[in-house]
Structures are given as C-alpha cells and as structure tokens.
C-alpha cells in the first residue's frame, strides 16, 4: 500500500495555510479552471459538477418540493449558460416541469463544454422544454407560462460580464426581476447575479435581484463586505484540486496572454526592456536574457554593457539594441547613461554577466534603486543578487522580482545551503525571508518556488538537463519580458514570475524531447521558446 510521507504532509499543510484565500477574483478563478484541466479534471467535469451543485441546492436548501415546482432556466451562450443546461437536466428528474430559454442562436454557443451540454438537452425531448429566443421581444410571451409554483434560474452571464448589459440579456434581466417581484418567486443566480462583476461587486446598469447566489470553489472578492450579497452567497465545491492553486499550470500562463495585441500597436507598446549587465568576462549571459525576452514577444530590448563586449553582443543578433558604456566593466561613470535608459524602459533586468568588481557592484546597486524609484518592474538576477543585501529597504516593492538559485539565496538570506536541498526546507526558508517584504521571490531549482506576501506556488516543469549554464539567464529574460509586456497592475507581478518559470521549464523539456538525451545548451532553448509561449495564446 502506498503511504504519504511526513514531508509531503508538511508541504500540504504549509501550502494550505500560506494560500488560505478568503475570496478570489474572476482572474484567479479562470486560472484554477485551466489548472484543474491540466491536472486531469476536465472543464466538462467541472461544468457537470457545477450544475449538479446548483440542482442540489435547489432540492435541499430552498425547502422546495420539486415534484410540484416548475423550473425556468434562462441561459446565455457561454459557460454560465452551460451550467444552466446541466441544472435543467438534473432537476428534470424530479421537477413538475423544466423550461430552458436560450438567449441566442445555438450555433453561437461559444465553448465546447456548453455546446456538449446543449446537445445533451436536445436528447431530453420529453422531459425538458427548450425555447430558443432569437429576439428579445419574444421573451415576455415565452415567460408568460411561468406559474406561481416556480423557480427562476439565472444562467445568463457569469464572470464574463463586461460593461452595460445589452439585448437580449437586458430584457431577460428585467423580465426575471418583474416575475420574481410580482409572484414572489425565488431567483437562483449561478456564480454571480447577471450584471454584477464578481471581482468588484459593481453594476453598470441592470442586475438580477437574486434570492440566492451559488458561486463556485471560493467566495468572490466582489461579494465581500457587501451586505446586499453576503447573506445570499453559498459556496459550492466542484472538485477543483487544491493543487490547481498550489502548482503553476497553463492557467497561470493563459491569464497573461488572453488579451491580444491591438491591431493599432506601434513599436514599444508591447514592452521595452532594459538589461544592465555584461563585462569583459561574460558576454553570453546578458545576450541569452535579451534573446529569450525577444523570443517571448517583447518589442524592444536594450542592453547597457561595457564597451569591451558591446561589439561581441551586437554580433549575437541584429535585433538587439546595445548601448556601449566606457570601460572593461560597468563603473560609476556609466550611471548617468544607465539612469536615462531606465526612464525609457518599463521593465529592467539587473545583473546577468556583470561581474563582481567593486565599481560594478556600486553600479548594480544604483541601477536597482533607480529602477525602483522610477516605479519600473525590476528583475534582479545573478551578480545583481550579490549586492542587494544592504539595499533591501530601497528595492523592496511589489514590482521587484528576485530570481536566485539556492546558492544565491543562501547569500542574500543567510540560510545554510543544506537547508535548501529539500522542497520542505526551501519553503520554510523563503517563508521566513519574505515575511514583511513586498517583493516577489522566484527561487530556482528542481522545483521552482514563487512566493510573495499573499501566496506561494510551486512550478514542476523542467528537466535535470537544465543544470547547464545559461538557463537561469533565460529565465531572467523571460520573467522580465513578461513583466514588460503583461504586468499592468502590481498584483500581476507574481503571475509573470510563475508563468516565466513554467515556460522556461517547458522549453527545457521540449529541447530534451527533440534531442532525445540530456545533452542541451541554454541557447538551444531559444529555438523553442516562441512555440512554447504560443501554446497559451
């Protein structure tokens, strides 16, 4: 018999306690849905569980005898409507009658899971009455059949509500509210009342006046501390594993890439990244970071480096902008130029290949401080990490990401390296380090740990072949690129760090798969980064 060892149990308790969320946003719920699918719990299964949970609530908690109850389910064209289709199928076994009203053309149902459940309803020819509403003016006539012994189910719009409600949804909301008011009918909203943004609780123009709100997995932030909603909200578990919030998965990546580039984009609108690093000793590190960032889609990358290697770095790619700074290594005479370039960028990566000369250490410190002062997104890696011990107070900000491996983390935290050889040891160490800090930590290793003051995630992608030099430089470049391109809010920073770790690991796995053996170089990962990122668009 397989047994779970104590270290796994400790990790479970740590993650459960550290990630104890009181409420989540719709973005976070989207991540969980996608990650659950990654873990083998399909979206179809989640939809089935969601609909079954609502049906169970109707049977058990409303105190209704469904055998004398007529159920009317108003459905939109998305997943909220799909949940409604499942509700109808489940309650049809006991209800006096079930009517489903689809507001729109069936061919426009916009997710595979919802389409699948609409097809299932079409097979229920005798137990469920289906009504396709192509014109909102038809709706009052259809709803004229609603009897006093009825329940209305709002499955029109869930977390996808954006802007003011338009037809035919607006008419459906008004009709539901009127029927509920005139006949004292209960209205059950699935996930959120249509018209209410579950992340903020805001209403643009109309909303369903729900009697009960069945939301899934966890409370939503828009319902917290709002008396109008709190007494009505019931949380239903639908089988999302705890690991969906603990492990980085495709959801963490998709949430960053879901907004397509504007067709009116101009150069620089999709990221401007500055890299401060390189020296007469190391030209490859900043180049790998820069090329990785470009393969991830950032518009412009500028490397500020010493004149001793500027030409060498230019030779790696004509796509790179290289600012040549006087001297064999970074020194204080370069600072004015670096600070000017920081003002140009929206994200700054400090450290790759810079070296440990005393003059360079001063430049790295000042670069980090200046980037933070200008409220830029900042990634500190490699030699940059070795100089920050006495400037934590200056760079500790929500837009700062540190990307150490175990040895570098030991230097900046004072944690013995031996403590960092197990996942449990790493989790305890980063928890102690991050306490009271605003920044995000990405601790690289066989398992990457992404931690900040509000949560912790573990990334499991990657391969032992990635112990080759330069893979950390690529990770730093990917992290900085994602920040430059996608972090429109401070709380997106941890998303970018998690997604970068995931993508970097997948790129390593893809190279190993193509080579067929653990014989890879970091530069080989550059060739697959673009196709890995494209999986999440």
pLDDT in tens, 192-250: 999 999 998 888 889 999 999 999 999 999 998 888 888 899 999 999 999 999 999 99
Mean pLDDT of the chain: 93
Q: In 347-443, which ranges are continuous DSSP H helix?
A: 358-373, 392-395, 406-413, 423-434
Tokens of 423: 């996942």
- Count of C-beta atoms within a 10 Å radius of residue 488: 8
CATH of domain 250-260+267-534: 3.40.1190.20
As a whole number of angstroms, the distance between CA 248 and CA 245 comes to 8
Answer yes or no: are the C-beta atoms of 457 and 498 closer than 8 Å.
yes
Long-range contacts at 402-408 (CB < 8 A, ≥ 24 apart): 402/439, 402/440, 402/441, 402/442, 403/379, 403/442, 403/444, 403/472, 403/475, 403/476, 403/479, 403/497, 404/441, 404/443, 404/444, 405/443, 405/444, 405/445, 405/472, 406/443, 406/444, 406/445, 408/382
Hey, where are the domains in the chain?
Answer: 22-245, 250-260+267-534
User: Helix, strand or coil for residue 533?
Assistant: helix
Phi, psi (rounded to 5 degrees) for 467: -70, -10
pLDDT tens for each residue of 402-425: 999 999 999 999 999 999 999 999
Report the pLDDT value the prediction gives residue 490, as an integer from 0 to 100: 67
- Fold adopted by 22-245: Rossmann fold (3.40.50)
Asked whether the predicted pLDDT for residue 366 surpasses 80, the reply is yes
As a whole number of angstroms, the distance between CA 501 and CA 461 comes to 8
Taking alpha carbons only, the member of 225, 228, 163, 162 closest to residue 189 is 228
Tokens of 278: 């390189």
- What is the pTM assigned to this prediction? 0.92
Report the pLDDT value the prediction gives residue 28, as an integer from 0 to 100: 92
Least confident of 275-279, 342-346, 395-399, 518-522: 518-522
- Listed in sequence order, the residues at least 6 apart from 8 whose beta carbon sits closer than 8 Å to its beta carbon are none
Answer yes or no: are the C-beta atoms of 67 and 92 closer than 8 Å.
no
Report the pLDDT value the prediction gives residue 453, as an integer from 0 to 100: 93
Asked whether the predicted pLDDT for residue 529 surpasses 80, the reply is yes
pLDDT tens for each residue of 304-338: 999 999 999 999 999 999 999 999 999 999 999 99
Confirm whether 22-245 and 250-260+267-534 share one CATH topology: no
As a whole number of angstroms, the distance between CA 460 and CA 451 comes to 15
* Inter-helix orientation angle 471-486/284-295, to 10°: 40
pLDDT tens for each residue of 12-35: 999 999 998 779 999 999 999 999
Answer yes or no: are the C-beta atoms of 371 and 394 closer than 8 Å.
no
- Count of C-beta atoms within a 10 Å radius of residue 126: 6
Asked whether the predicted pLDDT for residue 6 surpasses 50, the reply is no
pLDDT tens for each residue of 50-84: 999 999 999 887 777 788 899 999 999 999 999 99
pLDDT tens for each residue of 242-261: 999 999 999 999 998 887 78
Q: What integer is the mean pLDDT of 257-284?
A: 90
How sure is the predictor about 491, in pLDDT bands with cuts at 50, 70 and 90?
low
Provide the percentage of residues in the chain whose pLDDT is more than 70: 97
As a whole number of angstroms, the distance between CA 19 and CA 389 comes to 27
Asked whether the predicted pLDDT for residue 5 surpasses 60, the reply is no
Taking alpha carbons only, the member of 311, 353, 306, 350 closest to residue 469 is 353
pLDDT tens for each residue of 131-143: 999 888 888 888 8
Looking at the DSSP bridge assignments, the partners of residue 98 are: 71
Q: How far is CA 482 from the centre of its chain?
A: 12
Report the pLDDT value the prediction gives residue 230, as an integer from 0 to 100: 81
Answer yes or no: are the C-beta atoms of 507 and 474 closer than 8 Å.
yes
Asked whether the predicted pLDDT for residue 152 surpasses 80, the reply is yes
CA distances from 9 to 16, 32, 39, 299, 346 (A): 11, 22, 19, 44, 41
Asked whether the predicted pLDDT for residue 7 surpasses 70, the reply is no
């Amino acid at each position: 018999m397989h047994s779970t060892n104590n270290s796994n149990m400790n990790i479970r308790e740590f993650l459960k306690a550290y990630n104890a969320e009181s409420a989540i946003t719709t973005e976070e719920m989207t991540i969980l849905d996608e990650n659950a699918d990654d873990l083998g719990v399909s979206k179809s299964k989640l939809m089935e569980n969601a609909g079954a949970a609502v049906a169970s609530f109707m049977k058990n908690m409303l105190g209704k005898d469904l055998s004398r109850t007529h159920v009317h389910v108003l459905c939109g064209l998305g997943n909220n409507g799909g949940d409604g289709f499942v509700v109808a199928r489940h309650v049809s076994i006991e209800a006096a009658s079930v009517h489903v009203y689809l507001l729109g053309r069936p061919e426009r149902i916009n997710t595979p899971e919802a389409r699948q459940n609409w097809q299932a309803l079409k097979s229920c020819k005798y137990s469920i009455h289906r009504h396709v509403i192509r014109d909102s003016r038809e709706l009052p006539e259809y709803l004229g059949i609603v009897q006093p012994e009825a329940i209305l189910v709002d499955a029109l719009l869930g977390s996808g509500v954006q802007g003011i409600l338009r037809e035919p949804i607006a008419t459906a909301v008004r009709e539901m509210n009127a029927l509920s008011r005139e006949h004292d009918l209960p209205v059950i909203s699935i996930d959120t009342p249509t018209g209410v943004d579950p992340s903020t609780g805001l209403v643009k123009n109309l909303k369903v006046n729900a009697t009960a709100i069945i939301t899934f997995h966890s409370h939503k932030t828009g319902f917290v501390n709002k008396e109008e909603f709190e007494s009505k909200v019931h949380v239903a578990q639908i089988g999302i594993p705890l690991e969906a919030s603990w492990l980085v998965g495709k959801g963490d990546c998709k949430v960053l890439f879901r907004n397509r580039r504007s067709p009116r984009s101009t150069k620089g609108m999709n990221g401007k990244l500055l890299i401060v690093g390189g020296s007469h000793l190391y030209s490859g590190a900043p180049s790998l970071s820069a090329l990785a960032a470009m393969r991830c889609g950032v518009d412009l990358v500028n490397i500020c480096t010493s004149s001793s290697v500027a030409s060498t770095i230019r030779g790696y790619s004509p796509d790179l902008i290289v600012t040549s700074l006087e001297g064999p290594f970074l020194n204080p005479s370069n600072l004015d130029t670096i600070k000017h370039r920081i003002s140009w960028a929206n994200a700054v990566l400090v450290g790759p290949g810079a070296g440990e000369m005393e003059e360079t250490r001063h430049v790295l410190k000042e670069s980090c401080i200046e980037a933070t002062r200008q409220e830029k997104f900042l990634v500190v890696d490699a030699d940059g990490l070795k100089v920050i011990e006495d400037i934590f107070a200056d760079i500790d900000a929500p837009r700062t990401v540190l990307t150490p491996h175990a040895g570098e983390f030991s230097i900046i935290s004072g944690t013995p390296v031996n403590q960092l050889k197990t996942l449990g040891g790493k989790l305890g160490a980063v928890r102690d380090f991050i306490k009271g800090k605003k920044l995000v930590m990405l601790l690289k290793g066989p398992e990457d740990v992404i931690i900040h003051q509000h949560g912790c995630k573990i990334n499991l992608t990657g391969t032992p072949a990635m112990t080759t030099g330069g893979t950390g430089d690529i990770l730093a470049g990917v992290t900085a690129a994602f920040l430059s391109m996608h972090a429109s809010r401070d709380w997106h920073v941890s998303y970018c760090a998690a997604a970068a770790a995931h993508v970097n690991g997948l790129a390593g796995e893809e190279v190993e798969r193509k080579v067929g053996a653990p014989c890879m170089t970091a530069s080989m990962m550059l060739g697959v980064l673009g196709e890995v990122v494209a999986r999440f668009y």
